[in-house]
Structure 1
Amino acid sequence: MKPGLALRVSQHLTLTPQLQQSIRLLQLSTLEMAQEVEQMLADNPFLERADDEDATTDGAGERAAQAGADGDTEDGADDPALTTPAHGGDEPAVPDTVALLESATPAAPDDWPTPADADAGTGGADDAFVPDDTDWSWDGPGVDRDGRQADEEHGSAAELARSTERLQDHLHRQALALHLDDDERAALYFLIESLDDDGYLSDSLEDLTAALWRHVQAADPTAGEARQEEVASLMRRALGWLQAMEPAGVGARHLAECLRLQILEQPNTPEARAALALCEQPIEWIARRDMRRLAQATGLDDAALRAGLALLTRLEPKPGRRFADAERQIIVPDVIVTVQGAQFDVQLNPAVLPRLRVSDLYAQALRGLRGGDLQQRLQEARWFIKNLQQRFDTILRVARAIVERQRSFFLHGEVGMRPLVLRDIADELGLHESTISRVTTAKYMATPFGTFELKYFFGSSLGTDAGGNASSTAVRALIKQMIAAEDPRKPLSDSQLADLLKEQGIECARRTVAKYREALRIPTASLRKTL
């Protein structure tokens, strides 16, 4: 085979580190983004918080005067992507990163520097973009025109999450009021830490006692049977102390015991005695409200059964609910929508916006140097701020487009929701559908009707008699209204709900009604029936 030279033309995509970071930041939730910012602040010495208002203002004035003297007008301050969107004006043009990946272009945009530029010492990243590093500082839309930080009292999402007390901490504080010796306190501590998020002991007392006994043996190998019996007695007493704590029902092993503990905290009335008798019966009978079996098993008359069942429905089946996983339940909206008449104001939430800038001290020290690891870290800091701003710009653009499409929702509530799919917003904004999916995932909007994930405003459509479409969200709201207005003694079946929707011109099959009802966590007609 004879060797030779040949020319070949081909196209390929270059996924730069900046593009990867832009995509990753776009799909992060508020809490995840806060963690990313903290990690970047810890790793990159050139990145710092822009909290010193006086220093920032003075430095900006000096640099503006210097820029005017040098006649330099092609710096990053005139870059539209660095304009704060919350202050009004034209919205910045944000590159659609997913469209760049999925298109057939040979490389990323020409004005995006690569690490090779810095290593080669060409200066393309620094000279073409930002001769002055302070132009990369970004206070975010949370700063008003006078430079003051808005809504400082809100705090960060992580701080809000940490402010909620855990169930175990709540119980440990109550345990401090008990006069216990060291062994008793250790047994009670062991039980409290064994509770699940709902406040139940998911393991049996025997298994928990065996686990504690293994710890005792590990600490004292000479412990004998007498010590083992003492540990078992301690655990039984500790269970009693735990189940006497607040919230009532904590420390139960199953639902019937949880309900019984709560009933015992109430006055000894005929209603409470009937409820106690019901707790001794299979829980399935109570769930189905099988009056015949319950009457035969308890010997209670119809009036007593109804009173006992009414008391059971008022009890809390999960005593640890208000403490459970409080950190993950904290929702900090990314966008805030206010309605004034027929006008909507859509702004980013100042509480989630980081105030970052490139350290002027380090940047000035490196000015004039080319190449090297430090220069690359400086470039990374600049691009991190740039990508953060692109993230919030994209979220704001998508949120404004959603509000414009769902104006009826903000005026009339859920029943006014219109059919909307991701492609509608993607086509309107000139972005890729995958970008819209990333933006609307784990991002929340605060509205006069509550806080919703951005995906909530998207829904499939159902046909109507008039030839139009109705949003599935609006149909669910109608089903919820119909059930709320039904006669509790004769609740509406799924077929009846489908017929009522048809009377309003909405074609919805019975199975679709059942699916929407289950999504709303509404039980079947038999379980909704009031005796």
Structure 2
Amino acid sequence: MKQSLQLKLGQQLTMTPQLQQAIRLLQLSTLDLQQEIQEALESNPMLEINEGEADGNSEEQASNETGDNNTAENDTTPEAEGLSQGPEDLSVGSSEDSAPQESDSEGEWNESIPQDLPVDTDWDAVYQSSGPASSAPAPDEENDFESRRSVGESLQDHLLWQLNLTPMEDRDRVIAMAIIDAVQPNGLLDSNAEEIFQGLGDQLNEDDSELEIDEVLAVLHRVQQFDPPGVAGENLADCLLIQLRQLPADLPYLEAAKTVVSEHIALLGNRDYKTIMKKAKLKEAELKHVIEIIQSLNPSPGDSISASTAEYVVPDVFVSKQEGRWMVQLNPEIAPKIRINDSYASLIKRADSSSENTFLRDNLQEARWFLKSLQSRNETLLKVASCIVEKQQGFLDYGPEAMKPMILHDIADEVDMHESTISRVTTQKFMHTPQGIFELKYFFSSHVATSSGGECSSTAIRAIIKKLVAAENPKKPLSDNKITQLLEEQGIKVARRTIAKYRESLNIPPSNERKRLV
């Protein structure tokens, strides 16, 4: 093969570092954004937290000091049809008495970036999706009890704490620690008493007296009296029996409940009530009271002692109805307000190429682009959220059953952005509505054709299934085929396997497991 030199012309999309920063901030969640702002405050001396003082002319003065004669731009977010919006709020509906508001600080910047952020399809080759990150510590967070509990207490820690408070001989304490080590996170043992006895034989048989199985059983019964009730049960029936023994002895139908749990737990799991009534010699009304007692027990007592910490959702957007119109507002508390430090910006001298002046000039440039990127992120998020609210007003008024089918392409066409940009904006961003707090991606769903030629959202179908199951007869629950027929009567054509998929996504068990006694 002969080597040769050739000239070739081509076009390639190249994103500037400023545009890359803007897009990266666009995809961050609230917690990630707070951490990013905190890192920028720590690394850039030109940035400081705005404590609410009026500084409308601060950046203009800094611009005059640098001698930059670029024309300032006053960017305003374009109005969509039927929308009126400012930098921090939008209203859906008639907007004759509303007008776009100009940003107070945006016009002061010498640089500008495109308002609609183009994103190429090879985004993953440039950036990786961001994972969950912890928020930056607030000054008053030190006094918060939940913030100090960085790691929750495990079930083993809880049991060992009770063991230390229990008077016990050293030999029995070793047995108890072996039993606690065998307790699973759900509270049940992963080894029976015989296996624990065999495991302790080599360790304790070296003493004067040989270990016996009765010693292990005696210590196991003491550990089973620990909190939470039902802990250290060998199986589900044993766990429930431990809890039943701790109930008051004069509780009606307590003995019958112990009999059903110890002898007919498999029949109870299959909801074979007729066989249980026949073998336990119980009437239907009596079995109903027995089942109520058993249902009050906890089959996984270890779940009440969880090592996981609480996760809080901070909404990025608030939606409320005012004077017949749905208003969309950004949450002003999701990120600290920052600005450019006037003192440091005034130190920049004209036509000075010293290292100190270059350092200040570069940091001032980065600070301006960072503030501009934050402003662009807020405007884009507000624009997308307002478009979602405009299309899903039925959901806001009537709930999930009125959800309209919507895909990313619908919003992308409406706001004139790329679908990948809409996907980044709606990921890990939450909206507070009268119906609850939802991720923006919740409002996007596929559609199912109706008999009238229209479309029905899959989210609305799930809501209808949930409503039908809630209103069903507990003695004769609705099967998937019956739910399919009921939906077809409403003009919604859905296959039975699709109903089964939607039901499982709602954590609704099959009809045979939903059967109850009335």
Tell me the TM-score normalized by structure 1.
0.70
1:528 maps to what in 2?
514
1:96 maps to what in 2?
117
Asked whether the 8 Å contact 1:440–1:455 carries over to 2, the reply is yes
| 1:178 corresponds to which of 159, 162, 165 | 165
Q: Distance in 1 between matches of 2:469 and 2:508?
A: 9
DSSP-derived class of the 1:451 partner: strand
Q: How far apart are residue 517 of structure 1 and its match?
A: 1.6
Matches within 5 A, 1:312-461: 312-321=294-303, 324=306, 327=309, 329-340=311-322, 342-365=324-347, 368-369=352-353, 376=362, 379-461=365-447
Matches within 5 A, 1:256-275: 256-268=237-249, 269-275=251-257
Asked whether the 8 Å contact 1:415–1:477 carries over to 2, the reply is yes
2:88 maps to what in 1?
86
Q: Distance in 1 between matches of 2:46 and 2:231?
A: 47
| 1:475 corresponds to which of 457, 461, 475 | 461
1:286 maps to what in 2?
268
TM-superposition CA deviations, 1:421-467 (whole Å, max 9, x none) = 11101110111111212222222211111111111111111111221
Q: Distance in 1 between matches of 2:506 and 2:438?
A: 15
Q: Distance in 1 between matches of 2:200 and 2:41?
A: 43
2:126 maps to what in 1?
none
Judging changes above 3 Å, is the alpha-carbon distance between structure 1 residues 286 and 60 closer, same or farther for their aligned structure 2 residues?
Answer: same
Code of the aligned partner of 1:309: I
Out of 388-397 and 378-387, give the one that drifted further. Answer: 378-387
Q: How far apart are residue 233 of structure 1 and its match?
A: 11
Out of 3-12 and 70-79, give the one that drifted further. Answer: 70-79
Q: Distance in 2 between matches of 1:307 and 1:94?
A: 65
How many aligned residue pairs are there? 468
Q: Distance in 2 between matches of 1:416 and 1:378?
A: 50
Asked whether the 8 Å contact 1:274–1:307 carries over to 2, the reply is no
Q: How far apart are residue 65 of structure 1 and its match?
A: 6.8
| 1:506 corresponds to which of 460, 472, 492 | 492
Judging changes above 3 Å, is the alpha-carbon distance between structure 1 residues 373 and 172 closer, same or farther for their aligned structure 2 residues?
Answer: farther
Q: Distance in 1 between matches of 2:292 and 2:61?
A: 76
- Aligned: 1:248 with 2:229: yes
Out of 355-364 and 499-508, give the one that drifted further. Answer: 355-364
Judging changes above 3 Å, is the alpha-carbon distance between structure 1 residues 182 and 395 closer, same or farther for their aligned structure 2 residues?
Answer: farther
Judging changes above 3 Å, is the alpha-carbon distance between structure 1 residues 400 and 84 closer, same or farther for their aligned structure 2 residues?
Answer: closer
Out of 327-336 and 476-485, give the one that drifted further. Answer: 327-336
Q: Distance in 2 between matches of 1:363 and 1:233?
A: 80
TM-superposition CA deviations, 1:185-219 (whole Å, max 9, x none) = 999899889876655566778999999999xx9xx
Q: How far apart are residue 86 of structure 1 and its match?
A: 1.0
Out of 244-253 and 445-454, give the one that drifted further. Answer: 244-253
1:491 maps to what in 2?
477
Judging changes above 3 Å, is the alpha-carbon distance between structure 1 residues 462 and 185 closer, same or farther for their aligned structure 2 residues?
Answer: same
Out of 320-329 and 417-426, give the one that drifted further. Answer: 320-329
Q: Distance in 1 between matches of 2:504 and 2:190?
A: 27
Q: Distance in 2 between matches of 1:407 and 1:483?
A: 26
Q: How far apart are residue 387 of structure 1 and its match?
A: 3.0
TM-superposition CA deviations, 1:292-325 (whole Å, max 9, x none) = 5545765655544332222222333344546646
* Structure 2: runs of 5 or more not aligned: 78-84, 91-99, 104-113, 124-137
* Structure 1: runs of 5 or more not aligned: 103-151, 218-222
2:26 maps to what in 1?
26
Q: How far apart are residue 288 of structure 1 and its match?
A: 1.6
Asked whether the 8 Å contact 1:160–1:330 carries over to 2, the reply is no
Q: How far apart are residue 419 of structure 1 and its match?
A: 0.8
1:462 maps to what in 2?
448
Code of the aligned partner of 2:9: V
* Percent of aligned pairs with the same amino acid: 38
2:49 maps to what in 1?
50
Asked whether the 8 Å contact 1:460–1:472 carries over to 2, the reply is yes
TM-superposition CA deviations, 1:326-383 (whole Å, max 9, x none) = 5464222222211236321211223322323344455445555577677655544444
Q: Distance in 2 between matches of 1:210 and 1:373?
A: 71
Q: Distance in 1 between matches of 2:216 and 2:348?
A: 65
2:128 maps to what in 1?
none
DSSP-derived class of the 1:411 partner: helix
Tell me the TM-score normalized by structure 2.
0.72
TM-superposition CA deviations, 1:133-154 (whole Å, max 9, x none) = xxxxxxxxxxxxxxxxxxx999
Code of the aligned partner of 1:46: P
2:13 maps to what in 1?
13
Asked whether the 8 Å contact 2:62–2:345 carries over to 1, the reply is no
DSSP-derived class of the 2:253 partner: helix
Q: Distance in 2 between matches of 1:9 and 1:322?
A: 66
